[in-house]
């Protein structure tokens, strides 16, 4: 395999399938990001693909691997312009809270989907106080609460961070309870930062279009 230091022209994506979120995985609440390492040969074809970081779901991991193998690239080239094989790493996301739908995925995210995803997440990460114990959505929303609510927690130092983290934990417990009781509702209608979530969802949707 070529030494990355020898690469003077990086490969560029040409074509390939889009990673589809399997209906079976959605029904089970499976979600996450599969990080795939694959080899691009001297013709730009993917010759092998392996899981570097698993989603915890074999269904999603297999969907990511299958998608990666369909990709075609311009080949990497060395200083002499010669095509060379190269290892490449990328992530495939599977989140029902993200989409290119008008307004963004969060404003369409149902309580039913949220509850199934959080219940499954709990089986994979029983201690949410540990590193990576919170799923991506919760981590993101905690971050926004710390940065933007009431001028941001960081102005209050450690005590400010603790206060906002406690507020977040309480709000998260409420939205999980309310969504479980009202599966047909939307997640944003039961979370205390609804206006911020709507703005965030619009921005995120625009970035993916």
Which structural domain, as residue segments, surrounds residue 151?
Answer: 105-208
* Residue ranges of the chain with per-residue pLDDT less than 70: 1-5, 100-104, 149-156, 204-209
- Count of structural domains, the chain: 2
Max alpha carbon distance in the chain (Å)? 64
Are 156 and 197 found together in one domain?
yes
Q: What is the pTM of this model?
A: 0.85
Are 128 and 201 found together in one domain?
yes
Are 133 and 192 found together in one domain?
yes
Q: Please report, for the domain that includes residue 54, its CATH number.
A: 3.30.2420.10
**Residue 121 and residue 30 in contact, taking contact as beta carbons nearer than 8 Å:** no
Structure-block tokens of residue 83: 């095509």
For residue 126, being part of any structural domain is answered with yes
- What is the structure's pLDDT at 182? 98
For residue 51, being part of any structural domain is answered with yes
Burial code (b: 16+ CB inside 10 Å, e: under 16) for 76-104 equals: bbeeeeebbbbebeeebbbbbbbbeeeeb
For residue 99, being part of any structural domain is answered with no
**Residue 55 and residue 117 in contact, taking contact as beta carbons nearer than 8 Å:** no
Are 150 and 201 found together in one domain?
yes
């Amino acid at each position: 395999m070529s030494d990355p230091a020898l690469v003077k022209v990086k490969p560029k994506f040409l074509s390939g399938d889009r990673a589809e979120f399997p209906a079976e995985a959605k029904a089970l609440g499976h979600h996450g990001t599969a990080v795939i390492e694959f080899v691009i040969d001297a013709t730009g074809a993917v010759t092998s693909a392996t899981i570097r970081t698993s989603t915890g779901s074999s269904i999603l991991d297999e969907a990511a691997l299958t998608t990666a193998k369909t990709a075609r690239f311009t080949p990497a080239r060395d200083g002499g312009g010669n095509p060379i094989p190269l290892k490449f790493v990328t992530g495939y996301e599977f989140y029902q809270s993200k989409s290119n739908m008008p307004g963004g995925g969060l404003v369409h995210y149902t309580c039913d989907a949220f509850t199934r995803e959080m219940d499954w997440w709990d089986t994979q990460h029983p201690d949410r106080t540990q590193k990576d114990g919170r799923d991506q959505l919760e981590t993101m929303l905690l971050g926004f609460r710390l940065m933007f609510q009431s001028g941001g927690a960081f102005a209050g130092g450690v005590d400010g961070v603790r206060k906002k983290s406690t507020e977040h934990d309480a709000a998260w417990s409420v939205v999980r309870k309310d969504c479980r009781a009202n599966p047909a509702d939307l997640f944003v209608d039961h979370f205390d930062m609804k206006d911020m979530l709507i703005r965030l969802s619009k921005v995120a949707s625009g970035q993916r279009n």
